[in-house]
Amino acid sequence: MAGISEEAVYRLFGIPMMKKIVRNTFIACLIPTLIWALGHTLYPIYPVISRPIELTIVGLIFSLIFLRHGYITVMFSHVSSTAF
């Protein structure tokens, strides 16, 4: 399942690593989220800009869930959101 590995890379490791570098929680969440969102833009959706914006919002929500409730919760959220 891609959701498990994506959450481990972009939230579990990405956010704490970025927090050490930038020392700002929002920016530390935004940078891995943008990378994650841009990695999902290869789907043919028009207009093209709508997919990265949509996924950036979803990624920031996942980041908030991670910060408040932890890795397991955000992993289940991600996996269950892509299961249907």
Q: SS3 for the chain, per residue?
A: CHHHHHHHHHHHHHHHHHHHHHCCHHHHHHHHHHHHHHCCCCCCCCCCCHHHHHHHHHHHHHHHHHHHHCHHHHHHHHHHHHCC
| pLDDT for res 3 | 86
Q: What is the pLDDT of residue 81?
A: 86
Q: What is the pLDDT of residues 27-66, one digit of tens each?
A: 999 999 999 998 888 777 778 788 889 999 999 999 999 9
Q: Residue 74 above 90 pLDDT?
A: yes
Q: Confirm if 11 and 32 have CB atoms less than 8 A apart.
A: yes
Mean pLDDT value across the chain: 91
pLDDT exceeding 70 applies to what percent of the chain? 100
Domain edges within the chain: 2-82
